[in-house]
Structure 1
């Protein structure tokens, strides 16, 4: 066999690429190792703690961003090169392209690659690539297959051609920091050992979890997953639709920014106008009114089954609000852990008037009492009592914190899927309540609480709204109100129109699903997943800290989550429709069945 060179397509999953490089070095001992890498340019860049579309940044920021990305990319390739011993010749080439597969094909044709090691089964099936080169499929250092065993390289013309493309293929320098990147190139950012970085970079591929699951699916005998292996392929129509959605999303974000600026201008004008028309005497009266003690909170009718506690009871339960009992703080106020008798509780206290958010607190308190006193559901937080003196709310205590805390600790995928199923049940219960449906309006990771066994409860109903159902239009749930909620989870249609609907909760739930599956918390997670779909790199997004995902079904759930986030409300699935949520139900069944088998096996032993 000719062992002049063996090329290895590298992504940014260091653990997987390390295994593949070492495999190639061991199996081609006399060959020169040539690493090839395709950069997929990110559309986003960091900006003031959030994200900014790349095209909206100024040129200086873009240039600095490119420089950082280039430096990180060179460090990654040098790290890959260092895996081989010093006696072997190792080279590296890279190319920037917005389609990873097309970029790999370009590299193969322009560099006249005869033999390439690839860690992606989907990519290895590409007919154009297989015609150009002999493709060795290696996953995590384990050889799977070889295509075109007797291929003779013809050196055909490139994929889009000409010397212009060849000039864009860069060879990493053997000296110092590597190749100096031309200003026209764009680079994505990554940390050397991360699978998905903070800028939402999608790796070349990630079949590590798929390989693990291949073994499991044989043991479990799940026929549907075997039959669904090709689900990940995306049609041209879907790609065009995804691009259109991205463009619409960008336009919508621009409009939202314009509305925010206009609102601020109007508020400033009104404030200046009021000050200008007040006489000096009236100004003094106005200032005195602002400094006078505010009237105590209005009296609220408390339902009979909700226990009323005095301030002294609350103080005793929290050891006089001892600082070590403080477990949280939000816009509403402080949250303390306490004990009423032998019952552990969480007590949320409204901020006093004059402090931040204090004036908005009473309506939230009122709303929580009204809503939570009406509903009972195993996965909705239970309101035990209230303290009318301080507008305090007493809940059951849930010791494992929020779902965001759980994700940061590597919550197993089986628990994640169960929690999503529980929260879908909670939302369905709210949306189907009669005669008044309830819209939560602020669903997010930090409002999903976990008990000692990681069972979930939906909490924080301060922004919830009760909507009168129309007997003949039960699918029409709508209420006009000021936009509220949390950016990133808020339905863009609600933000621009003020029309709060059940579909607004569905949008937020879609974002939660994507976060639970990927472990990513960025505001632009929807765009990141859409880009990954276009690049056929979905498997690389799944959060590896959750264990070995059933990837085919997880990808189907990810697609369903994107439907939840569709900008057209009519295309979003209803949480009350079992048919729409089959992918989540299948995953829940798989997780339950897997646990049952392990339990039965443990008993048998």
Structure 2
């Protein structure tokens, strides 16, 4: 047998590729080993725990990120070469968005006679069989060999232009990376027609948040890409482990980017509020000439003589409380009654008569303000559901909100103290019920827009309530098609839970809540609170090791059903909105239904109801 050269198609799965390279080295002792790789340029850029389309990045950012991708790929090939020690090894790679076409073009250009492939799917490609002999090796074990002898023909296989063939690169001995030529990549910039279809306000929102994104990415040029290359030999080996030595660094990079994004969003909120204040200060232009002390005195007199906030029409079913009643209920906001603080302001527990309550105070210069207060009052006054927090009253003078008191705090706090899987599943079923109730309202569905662990509250029996409706929005539902229409609004919500499509486009739909709910499900299943919990869950599915990520502190999970629910949660987190399950569809949520039934004692019959508990 001719043993001048043996070519090995390698991908990104280092453990699998190591086994295949060592197998080839042992079985072809006198042959020169040649590694070949198709570099698949990703269409997404990692951002805020998710990914953003390259069409929203400028050319400089694309070039920087492509450079990082290519450098990581070259480093990977260099590591593979080192596996063979002093053995003569070379490596070639081609950038292509079709792995099969890329492999065939490599075979044609390099005149490969035999190739070791680590994927059953790739080995079945007819175009590849027409080019060369194919050895199928999985995890270091020889499975089959096709075409005992085949002379190479440059005219067989996928048609390839001279430009594509010329773009094959050989990895040099001292190579530290190769910047992929722009000609190798497809133009992904946004079409002018797409921009022309957007009205002025939509373009303004898009520009504002793309600029925010650009600023974050440029500040963190050391951020590494996670999962950007599609392996040649991984189509049928999704259960193989991908051991990336830089995983911890990548997670930290995501966190760094997230923190910077949050700061920028806070700055934008602050600037918008200042703009509103300035727009309302037209009659007070003369006050700008006052000294700081005179201005402070003037503002104090104004606050005493005029209402602090605009007048809000309070619905009849919502009780009004005075500032003195609120103060008395909280023992004048004593520190022992302090519960916590969010974007709206501090929360205190108190008593109005014999009723324990939680009072949320509006913080004058907080991230949220009067619009959120107004929105929460108007939305909650129309809702009545056992798993949505009940608004008992308001204090118009201070924009305070009075709720029923839920003594077990937030779901995040309860999870940190330990929570059995049966309770977790029950809470998920309760929250799915609450979301289904909101999304099925007619003629306007309600989108919560900020679903997360800290906005799910628990009563004394750990029964859950969905709270914080300051960012909620009502959207029209078509009466015939029963299709929810999205609405354009500035991106809002919480990093890690925010729908990436909403962040990119400003289009809020019910699918945005489904995305956040998917993240909540994954957090309860795994106990992982990292922003990249979806990536960790996807890796567990690929490795067929879902059991390894289930939170053992929750007890013995029913693994089959838990795995089905985890896969459903990953569908919720899909970047394609059409793939996400509708929260109102009982058929889509059967895995949660079954788990809920398994968690319920036999003595208590339980039947799913999408509009109740």
Give the TM-score of the pair, scaled to structure 1.
0.59
Find the aligned partners of 1:35 and 1:465 in 2 and give their Cα distance. 54
Check 1:564–1:52 CA distance in 2 against 1; reply closer, same or farther (3 A cut): closer
User: Do the aligned residues in 2 keep the contact of 1:353 with 1:359 (CA within 8 Å)?
Assistant: no
Find the aligned partners of 2:174 and 2:544 in 1 and give their Cα distance. 37
Give the TM-score of the pair, scaled to structure 2.
0.58
Aligned position for 1:143: 141
Aligned position for 2:577: 565
CA shift for structure 1 position 539: 7.4
Tell me whether 1:509 sits opposite 2:519 in the alignment: no
Give the root-mean-square deviation of aligned CA atoms: 6.1
Find the aligned partners of 1:448 and 1:521 in 2 and give their Cα distance. 17
Tell me whether 1:357 sits opposite 2:368 in the alignment: yes
**Match 1:375 to one of 372, 382, 385:** 385
Find the aligned partners of 2:87 and 2:596 in 1 and give their Cα distance. 47
Q: Bigger shift: 541-550 or 29-38? A: 541-550
Check 1:177–1:517 CA distance in 2 against 1; reply closer, same or farther (3 A cut): same
**Match 2:447 to one of 425, 440, 450:** 440
Secondary structure of residue in 2 paired with 1:161? coil
Tell me whether 1:475 sits opposite 2:482 in the alignment: yes
Q: Deviations over 1:324-358 (max 9, x none)?
A: x75xx54223468x899xxxx99673333344423
Find the aligned partners of 1:353 and 1:74 in 2 and give their Cα distance. 53
CA shift for structure 1 position 509: 1.1
Q: Deviations over 1:32-80 (max 9, x none)?
A: 3322221122344578999775466555544444443333222222122
Aligned length: 491
Q: Deviations over 1:350-375 (max 9, x none)?
A: 33334442333422552565356x11
Find the aligned partners of 1:59 and 1:100 in 2 and give their Cα distance. 25
Aligned position for 1:174: 173
The 5 A counterparts of 1:124-523 are 124-139=123-138, 141=139, 143=141, 145-148=143-146, 150-157=148-155, 159-175=158-174, 177=176, 182=181, 184-185=183-184, 197-198=225-226, 201-204=229-232, 205=234, 209-210=238-239, 275=282, 280=286, 288=298, 292-293=302-303, 295=307, 320=336, 326=340, 330-334=342-346, 349-367=360-378, 369-370=380-381, 374-377=384-387, 382-383=389-390, 390-391=400-401, 393=403, 394-397=405-408, 401=412, 423-432=431-440, 439-445=446-452, 449=456, 458-464=466-472, 475=482, 485-486=492-493, 488-489=498-499, 504-510=509-515, 513=518
User: Do the aligned residues in 2 keep the contact of 1:7 with 1:33 (CA within 8 Å)?
Assistant: yes
Aligned position for 1:82: 82
Find the aligned partners of 2:481 and 2:280 in 1 and give their Cα distance. 46
User: Do the aligned residues in 1 keep the contact of 2:344 with 2:369 (CA within 8 Å)?
Assistant: yes
Check 1:445–1:174 CA distance in 2 against 1; reply closer, same or farther (3 A cut): farther
Gaps (5+ residues) in structure 2?
A: 189-216, 218-223, 242-267, 551-558, 602-613
Check 1:476–1:69 CA distance in 2 against 1; reply closer, same or farther (3 A cut): closer
Q: Deviations over 1:358-398 (max 9, x none)?
A: 333422552565356x1114xx5x55977858435433535
CA shift for structure 1 position 198: 4.3
Find the aligned partners of 2:16 and 2:240 in 1 and give their Cα distance. 11
Gaps (5+ residues) in structure 1?
A: 190-195, 213-260, 527-531, 597-605
Aligned position for 1:230: none
Check 1:63–1:386 CA distance in 2 against 1; reply closer, same or farther (3 A cut): same
User: Do the aligned residues in 2 keep the contact of 1:510 with 1:564 (CA within 8 Å)?
Assistant: no
Secondary structure of residue in 2 paired with 1:152? coil
